[in-house]
Structure 1
Amino acid sequence: MAETVRPRAAAQPRKYSTPLIAERRKRILDETKKLIGEAGIDGFTLRELGQRAGVSVTTVYNIFGDKEGVVAHALREFHAGIKLNLPSQGANLAGYCRTICDTTEVVLENRAYALALADLYFSRSLSPTLFEVIRSMPLQVFVHWLWMAERDGLLTGVIRPADAETAFANLEWASVKDWGAGRIADAELAEVRQRSFLVIVKAMAIRPIAEAADALLAALSSPAGNTA
């Protein structure tokens, strides 16, 4: 039986704070993440999600509004749960590279989920809302560097930050796609992601920071393999 489609205009999530609703909410989000990894966003219905989470479809609608709402919440909550050790200075490029290595471990531990998101990022049928959520996921480290670099006067202004963010997000998700296709080994993924960061930093930053990025790129080519 086809799943009933609710009007999007009426899909407004309701807010609850009882322990029961909180526990149901967690189950729904956990199962949403699993289903995304197994079948992508289009590969499951709210009925299937409800069955796996042990709740009714009405409960899912009441808490999250609609399918796009529950998916967006699942993506944001997973991303928010990743602990980042971010440097306090824009010049600390090695610190940012260490954080990239840390987040690479999260990607490796959640392979199916990461690959499903990479496929969605490059899909033409993804809604603008979900595209922006997925686009933002690998940007937290880079955007933090942009904030610190602007604060510390480290940017040349030649490249617009918005353009750099788009380039970085594209590189990040393309790297995940290549990794999923076997073109990048597990042990190489952190290095590839560090390179993406350092190349863009080099293009945006004043000379001393660009030279520091160059030095770290050279270190990545050494037998040690990464800067962490």
Structure 2
Amino acid sequence: MSASAFAAQSAKSVLSANPESEPVYSSVPIQERRKRILAEARRMIAQDGIDNFSIRTLCRNADVAQRTLYNAFQGKDRLIALAISEAYEDVNRHMRYRTSADTLEGIVDRLISVNTRNLKARNYTKAVVSLYFSPTISEDIWNALRGMAFRNLRQWLDRLAREGALEPWVDVEEAAGDFANLEYSIINDWAVGRLSDEDYVPRLILSVLSHTAGVTVGVYRDEAIAMAQAIRRTGHLPEFPKPVYDPAKAASSTL
């Protein structure tokens, strides 16, 4: 993938607060009001979930008028998506992994870490998948949520494509979308109670490894199969050096 193509893909996943009337956050009071709304939205999602999320309650708690909120964020779905994206970015901006993002080990390491955290944030996770699978969600919100799954996935798939490690019939863009859809479908099964906490992360990792084995060739396919076989044989997920949560280094390094 060229640098310009990657930039274009990344731009698609950047969610605008209000595409119909983009606000200009030039003054400190306006910026602080927006932060207050998002902070309260994050607190309400974490505490009560998406099913009980009330714009009226949010406005009362954040001390803003409903008209102000809708001017800034267009609607409830967009506000929730922005709050979720902000929470996700806050964590990942500070997370330092010991594995490389463009390897299968790195992908599995990050999936285990992120989805283990999901166990402690069911309301947030349920909100994400509810939006992702909503038939009425706008395309830019959907792309932003898919971009959360694309963070390292696309980098890894691009490397496989460069090295000729993908089956010749595989389209990288389609493969990335299939991986994202697969991940979200299994996360949704857990979020709504179809998968137990114990089965959730292993099922997700085995599904990703199965799909990897289907689209890769050679040593990369062998690696995916060997990892899946080891999980089935031992009943344990692979272990990697634990990532470090380090806000102090957030400004000087990237994932």
Same fold (TM over 0.5): yes
In the TM superposition, residue 147 of structure 1 has moved relative to its aligned partner by 2.8
Question: After the TM superposition, which residues 138-177 of structure 1 pair with which residues of structure 2 at under 5 Å, given as runs?
Answer: 138-177=149-188
Q: How far does residue 111 in structure 1 lie from its aligned partner after superposition?
A: 0.5
| CA spacing shift, 1:218–1:190, aligned 2, 3 Å | same
Alpha-carbon deviation of 1:225?
A: 1.6
Whether 2:23 is the aligned partner of 1:16: answer no
CA distance in 1, matches of 2:195, 2:20: 44
Could you list the runs of 5+ residues in structure 2 that have no partner in the other structure? 1-17, 240-255
Counterparts of 1:88 and 1:52, CA distance in 2: 42
Q: Which residue of 1 aligns with 2:232?
A: 221
Q: Deviations over 1:170-226 (max 9, x none)?
A: 221221222134332223322122123212222222211000100000011123421
Write out aligned runs for 1:130-145 (5 A).
130-145=141-156
Contact 2:34 2:72 in 1 (8 A): yes
Q: Secondary structure at the match of 2:119?
A: helix
Number of residue pairs matched by the alignment: 218
Does residue 94 (structure 1) correspond to residue 124 (structure 2)? The answer is no
The residue that corresponds to 2:15 in the other structure is none
Question: How far off its partner does 1:146 sit?
Answer: 1.3
| Contact 1:25–1:63 under 8 Å retained in 2 | yes
User: Are residues 112 and 155 of structure 1, via their aligned partners in 2, closer, same or farther at CA, if it must alter by over 3 Å?
Assistant: same
User: Kindly tell me: are residues 9 and 198 of structure 1, through their superposed partners in 2, closer, same or farther at Cα, counting changes over 3 Å?
Assistant: closer
After TM superposition, the score normalised by the length of structure 1 is 0.79
Q: 1:75 aligns with which of 84, 93, 97?
A: 84
Output the amino acid matched with 1:97. V
1:185 aligns with 2:196: yes
CA, structure 1 residues 120+10, in 2 after alignment: closer, same or farther (shift >3 Å)? closer
Separation of aligned partners in 1, 2:98 and 2:208: 14
- Mean CA deviation greater in 9-18 or 157-166: 9-18
**AA matched with 1:127:** S
The answer as to whether partners of 1:154 and 1:205 remain within 8 angstroms in 2 is yes
**What is the identity, as a one-letter code, of the residue corresponding to 1:49?**
L
Distance 1:88 1:107, change over 3 A: same
Alpha-carbon distance change, 11 to 22 in structure 1, aligned in 2, over 3 angstroms: closer
1:28-43 mapped onto 2 (5 Å cutoff): 28-36=37-45, 38=48, 40=50, 43=53
Task: Give deviations 1:97-150, integer Å, cap 9, x for gaps.
Answer: 121111112211210111122222222122222222222222323223213323
Shift of 1:65: 5.1
Number of the residue aligned with 2:129: 118
The residue number in structure 2 matching 1:127 is 138
Structure 1 unmatched runs, 5+? 1-7
Match of 1:25 in 2: 34
Q: Secondary structure in 1 aligned to 2:225?
A: helix
The CA deviation at 1:44 is 2.7
Deviates more, 1:132-141 or 1:31-40: 31-40
- SS of residue matched to 1:221: helix
Q: Under a length normalisation based on structure 2, what TM-score does the superposition of the two structures give?
A: 0.72
Distance 1:86 1:58 in 2: 46
Residue 5 of structure 1 is matched in structure 2 by none
2:60 to 51, 58, 61: 51
CA RMSD of aligned residues (A): 2.8
